[in-house]
Amino acid sequence: MAAGLACLSPATPVRAEPGGYQRLEGHGGPVKGVAFSEGGRRMLTASFDYSVGLWDAQTGGLIRWLEGHEAAVNAVAFLPGNRALSAGDDFDMILWDLGTGDILKRFEGHKGKLIAVEVGPGATLAASAGWDGTVGLWPLSGGGEPRFLAGHRANVNDAAFTPDGTKLYTASYDGTIRRWDVATGAEEAIVVSHGFGVNHLVLNAAAGWLAYGALDGAVRAIDLASGAQIADLTADRRPILALAADPSGRFLAVGDGEGYVMVVDTADWSIRRDFRAALSGPIWALAWEPSGGRLLAGGIADEAALWPIDADGDALFAGGPREFHKPPSEMTNGERQFVRKCSICHSLTPDGGRKAGPTLWRLFGRRAGSVPGYAYSDALGSSGIVWTEETVARLFEEGPDVFTPGSKMPVQRIAKAGDRDDLIDYLRQKSGRADRAGSEVGSKTQ
C-alpha cells in the first residue's frame, strides 16, 4: 500500500561484526544498488524505500539521506565534483549535490523504470538502462539534449562504455548484448545472442573480454575480437542479479538469486571463492572497494554489508528469512496476505521507520494522505478517502490505479473476496482504529 516518499528517520551507523564484516543499517527496504567513490572514502546505497544513503567508508557513519525519488531506487554512481547519480522505478535519473543533499537536476524522458546507470569516461555523458526498451544518453556538462538508443526488443538491464567512450555495450531481456556507436547512436552489432534475458555485463576492453550474467543462471565470458566463448562459470543458480569487476579488472564478483557470491580470478577463469552470502533471499548489488580489499553488497535485507574479501567465514547477511519468506503453514491467511502484499512497504508499528510507504498503525478511521511529514501524491492527499473496512476492500478489489488514480501505490489486486476479508481482519487486529486513539493520526501514521 505504498503511496509516497520514505519519511526521514535516524539511522544506525555501520555495525562491526566478527571477522571484519560491517553492516550499513538504516534503510527501510531491500538494497538494490551500491557504489564506492573513486577514492574509496564514501559509499552509496540505493533502496526499495525510495532513498539513497551516503556513507563514510572509513568510519562507517551515515553522512546523509538523499530523498527525491518517488519509487524504488535501483542504481547509483558517483561523479566528480562531489556529485552523484541515482536511477529508479519512477522512470527518472537524479543528479545530486552530495555536499548539501540537494537535487541539481532531474533527468526525465524514459517511459519505463531505470535499472542501471553507467558514467562515461570523463563524466561528460551518462547512460541509463530503461525498461522501456531504450538506453538514454544524457550530457552531464555543457547542456545538450538527451538521446535514446532504440533497438532492443525488451527491457534494457545494463550498459558499459568502452574506455575511450566511443562505444557502448548494452544487455537486455531480449537475450542479446549489443554494441552501439555513441556519436551516431547507430547499432553496430549483436555481440551475444543468449537464449534467456541478460541481466548484467562487465567489459574489460584492455584484456579483450566481456562477461555477462543471465536470467537462467549463465555466467560466461567471450573474446571481444572473435566473439568466441572463453569461459563458462555457470553454477546452476539463477538468476544472476549482480556482476562487478574489481578496480584492477582481474577479479569478478557474481551475485545470484539464491544468495550466493562467487569470486572469479579472470587470469585463468578459476573460482577463488563461492559461498552463501545471504541465508535468505538474493544478492542484488555488488561493488568493489577501489583497493580491491572489500566488497559492498546489497540484498533482501534492509541493510548493505561490507565484506573483507579474504576474511574467514561465509554469510554477509546472517539474519533469518524475511516475513514474506515464512512458510504459509506458519501464518493465518490474513497474515499471509499482509506479508505478501503490504509488509515490504509498510509497518504496523507507531514508528514506520524508513519504509517506502507510511505505517498502517491506527489505519481504520483515518483520512488518506494524512500522515505528518510523509510526501503523498497530490491525488491521494486530495482524494477525501477515509480508510475503513469498505474502502480497504475496494482498494484491493479494484486496484489502486482505479480506486486511487494518480497515487504512487504499486498496482496490485486481491481477487478473492475471502482473501480481502482475511486481510482486513488481520489489519483490524494488528493496526487498530485512529478514532479510538483520540486523534485522526499518530506521529507516523497513514
Measured between alpha carbons, how far is 93 from 166 in angstroms, rounded to an integer?
Answer: 22
Measured between alpha carbons, how far is 153 from 217 in angstroms, rounded to an integer?
Answer: 21
Name, in order, each residue with C-beta under 8 angstroms of 291's C-beta and a sequence gap of 6 or more.
40, 247
CATH number attached to the domain at 15-308: 2.130.10.10
CATH 1.10.760.10 domain locations along the chain = 325-436
| Residue 208: other Cβ atoms inside 10 A | 12
CATH number attached to the domain at 325-436: 1.10.760.10
Of the given ranges (317-331, 344-358, 359-373), which has the lowest mean pLDDT?
A: 317-331
Task: Give residue-wise pLDDT tens across range 34-45.
Answer: 999 999 999 999
Task: Give residue-wise pLDDT tens across range 56-95.
Answer: 998 778 999 999 999 999 999 999 999 999 999 999 999 9
- The whole-model pTM stands at 0.80
Question: According to the model, what pLDDT value does residue 309 have?
Answer: 82
Q: How far is CA 444 from CA 142, 357, 380, 418, in A?
A: 43, 11, 17, 30
End-to-end Cα distance, the chain: 10
Question: According to the model, what pLDDT value does residue 446 have?
Answer: 33
Place of cell 562531489: 82
Instruction: Answer yes or no: is pLDDT of 1 > 50.
Output: no
How long is the chain? 446
- Please, is 80 exposed, middle or buried when counting C-beta atoms within 10 Å of its C-beta (0-12, 13-18, 19+)? exposed
Question: According to the model, what pLDDT value does residue 312 have?
Answer: 65
The neighbouring-strand residues paired with 381 are none
Question: According to the model, what pLDDT value does residue 369 have?
Answer: 83
Q: What is the mean pLDDT of the chain?
A: 86
Question: According to the model, what pLDDT value does residue 12 have?
Answer: 39
More confident position, 267 or 430: 267
Q: Which helix (H) or strand (E) holds 114?
A: strand 114-119
What phi, psi does 62 have (nearest 5°)? -75, 130
DSSP SS3 for 123: helix
- Which cell goes with 180? 552501439
CATH 2.130.10.10 domain locations along the chain = 15-308
Name, in order, each residue with C-beta under 8 angstroms of 330's C-beta and a sequence gap of 6 or more.
none
